[in-house]
Structure 1
Amino acid sequence: MLAKTNKAAALALAILLVAALAACGGKSNPEVSSSPAPAAESLSAPPSASSSEPSQETRDDGDTRIVTDEFGEVEVPAHPQRVVGVYVEDYLKALGVTPVAQWYHPLWGKQDYLDLDVPLFDTTGSIEALLSYNPDLIIVDGSVDKEKYETYSKIAPTYRLPESVLQSSPDILKVVADVLNLPEKAEQVIADYESKVADAKAKLESAVGNEKVAVVRVNVGEKTLALFGVKNRYAGVIYTEFGLEPIRMAAEMTDFQSIISEEVIPDLGADHIIFIPSNGSWDTPEYQEDFKLLDSPLWKSVPAFQKGNIYKVERSHWQSGAITANSMKLDDLLRLMVK
């Protein structure tokens, strides 16, 4: 009788132990994250050379997203609030986002046309200076190599624009908007821009036709002249998108720009010339000696000078290829060329 009682007690104890182990197995370990790891099939394929949008994970963890930039995958805030856009502030402004700082270069200045009332970040100084602005996202353009990228990434999650989109301002805008989680805003900005271009292009064609146009920068300090080619990221848009005809030298250039000697001036054959100062403004006192390059008698043989089609424009938006700057170039052309 006692043996039977002992067996029953042992069996009951074993059942209790099994139940206890099962209960423990159902509890989460408090030291291990309960967030599920992303499944491999949930990741979008890396962007192809023609893709203009960063790939993203389909999971929504509420606070962050995974996007793919030039150097790989980056975890960024789902809704960034304090953004730094080094050389891409134009796109931020177009999307209605005010950066917490604006890039600045001691020699080049800043993009004055954006009229941003924010602190300046000296791009020639220490990147760690950005810490004082407490950014939660940094977006950089193609000028940032892997080494600088890694330094920026120590400050905040950093997205580097893919090389495949750098030649197109609408494509860059789409990418920046996607990283900011504002894709619909980009669609509206691009639609408005394309409508404006189509209307202005028709007016320019009617006013200018096939007359040849050149864009020349006066490099102050160096006292040289730079002819911008059709592939120039700043001014090439007036040919590729706005429909103006480049002079032969600009059309045949493979480089972004070419320094031309005074002896070449009579060969330009331009009916219209747009001049840009490399720094300051046309009224800056210390650059007046440099601007005397435009007083050379050699210019008298150029059709643009003979016809009075000489246009001196503000430098900062003409030395940017971003979408707001391009829209402002269009405004200049309509004002100067369409009578």
Structure 2
Amino acid sequence: MKTYSRFTILIAACFLLAVVLSACGASNDANTAANSTQAANAQANANAAADPKTETASNGEATSNTAASAGADTAASEATTRVFKDYEGHEVTIPTHPQRILANQLVGHLLAVGVKPVGTTTSQLGQLSESSFLKPLGLTEGIEDLGDTISLEKALSLKPDLIILQSNDQGGVQNYDQYAKIAPTVVISYGSKTMFEQLREIADIAGVPDQAEQWISQYEAKAAKYREELAGLIPPNTTFSVMEAWPKGQIELFGNLFGRGTFSLYNSLQLQAPAKVQEAVMDKEPSYLGLSLETLPDYAADYIFLSVFDWQEGGDNAKLQKEFEKEPVWRSLPAVKQGHVFHVNVNDFLPGDPLSIEKQLDEQARMLLEAFKK
């Protein structure tokens, strides 16, 4: 049996006492920390109960952060481009919201939906500036003249993000591949759609489809008002033709898918064309027909809207009109004999864009109300 000295026993006892005291101290520290945490939580809960704004502000901040995050996700997920299949069958990746458009035609359609192209052809600028209806509006300001056909050099310098061609511009369509190297390029049909259909298509391409619907809505309201004013004034079955005198005894007859006020007259005011005119040019592509003086009487209506267009170089519309009105065939028509001819300015009635057509509607309604109220 081992024996221990008093000194050894004393050392062991001191060591044991130190361990016990250390354990007690750690336990007290843990309890103190726990008690402090509980006290802090209790105080926070008490403060929240006393001031409900604290919790509301916290929740509001969280909600705001969530909404902002969702908005950012939506913006990030919105496509900046889309694929458009054009009249010629090209599947073109175009901007969702193009900012710099070049157009060889259809500028009036773009302007009607609040989109100003950066450049267009000389003929389009001429139509906007020569029309007494549109010239006062200053629509050509800020639009570059790109020549008879969109100049490749000018197109390149303007840095477009979209080029729109209409199919009847053969020079432009032939340059399609060159234009497509500059910017996404689409080809739109010519003479196969009503003004409303064409407007919706252009607005869709320009990324503003709602603007087309707004424009159409206000136009339809105006047309309905005019129809109401004319109701009962124009006898049933009264017919109307739209014609244009050209050089060398040629006359053009127009249907409702062309300019010259046909859309407003037939589609909007819903007036009637003679059966032969309906068969020849109404809802047809193309919606016009060349006549000779000999065939003119077959398409003449009770009332005729007539314009004169001397398209020759140095042409004189006033001179051509005097010559045309001396033609025996013209003078023999019942509408001419009875004074049922409405003379209109070709510069005002040639364009078939929405802005021009609305003005044509106003002018036709004015003429008809004046004539039939007598």
Asked whether the two chains share a fold, i.e. TM above 0.5, the reply is yes
List gaps (5 residues or longer) in structure 2. Answer: 1-75
Of 199, 221, 238, which residue of structure 2 is paired with 1:211?
238
Of 181, 186, 193, which residue of structure 2 is paired with 1:154?
181
Alpha-carbon distance between aligned partners in 2 of 1:296 and 1:308, rounded to the nearest angstrom: 16
In the TM superposition, what is the alpha-carbon distance from 1:205 to its structure 2 partner? 4.2
Larger helix percent: 2
Alpha-carbon distance between aligned partners in 1 of 2:299 and 2:96, rounded to the nearest angstrom: 51
In the TM superposition, what is the alpha-carbon distance from 1:302 to its structure 2 partner? 2.2
SS at match of 2:102: strand
What's the counterpart of residue 192 of structure 1? 218
SS at match of 1:249: helix
What's the counterpart of residue 163 of structure 2? 138
What's the counterpart of residue 127 of structure 2? 110
Q: Does the 8 Å CA contact 2:310/2:316 hold for their aligned counterparts?
A: no
CA distance change for structure 1 residues 154 and 316 in 2, over 3 Å: closer, same or farther?
Answer: farther
In the TM superposition, what is the alpha-carbon distance from 1:233 to its structure 2 partner? 5.8
What's the counterpart of residue 343 of structure 2? 312
Alpha-carbon distance between aligned partners in 2 of 1:305 and 1:151, rounded to the nearest angstrom: 51
In the TM superposition, what is the alpha-carbon distance from 1:243 to its structure 2 partner? 1.1
Matches within 5 A, 1:165-314: 166-209=192-235, 210-220=237-247, 222-230=248-256, 232=258, 235-237=261-263, 238-254=265-281, 256-279=287-310, 286-291=316-321, 292-314=323-345
Alpha-carbon distance between aligned partners in 2 of 1:104 and 1:286, rounded to the nearest angstrom: 20
Within the alignment, does 1:66 sit opposite 2:83 as a pair? yes
Q: Does the 8 Å CA contact 2:81/2:93 hold for their aligned counterparts?
A: yes
In the TM superposition, what is the alpha-carbon distance from 1:96 to its structure 2 partner? 1.4
2:94 is aligned with what amino acid? V
Alpha-carbon distance between aligned partners in 2 of 1:272 and 1:245, rounded to the nearest angstrom: 10
Matches within 5 A, 1:39-118: 60-61=78-79, 63-70=80-87, 71-105=89-123, 109-112=126-129, 113=131, 114-115=134-135, 116-117=140-141, 118=143
Larger radius of gyration: 2
In the TM superposition, what is the alpha-carbon distance from 1:99 to its structure 2 partner? 1.6
* CA root-mean-square deviation: 3.1
2:274 is aligned with what amino acid? I
Alpha-carbon distance between aligned partners in 2 of 1:173 and 1:230, rounded to the nearest angstrom: 15
* TM-score (normalised: structure 1): 0.69
Alpha-carbon distance between aligned partners in 1 of 2:254 and 2:365, rounded to the nearest angstrom: 20
* TM-score (normalised: structure 2): 0.64
2:110 is aligned with what amino acid? L
Deviations, residues 130-185 of structure 1 (Å, cap 9, x unaligned): 2233322112223257643323212221222368x941222222222222221222
Percent of matched pairs sharing the same residue: 27
Alpha-carbon distance between aligned partners in 1 of 2:326 and 2:229, rounded to the nearest angstrom: 31
List gaps (5 residues or longer) in structure 1. Answer: 1-57
Q: Does the 8 Å CA contact 1:144/1:160 hold for their aligned counterparts?
A: no
Alpha-carbon distance between aligned partners in 2 of 1:174 and 1:230, rounded to the nearest angstrom: 17
Count of paired positions:
275
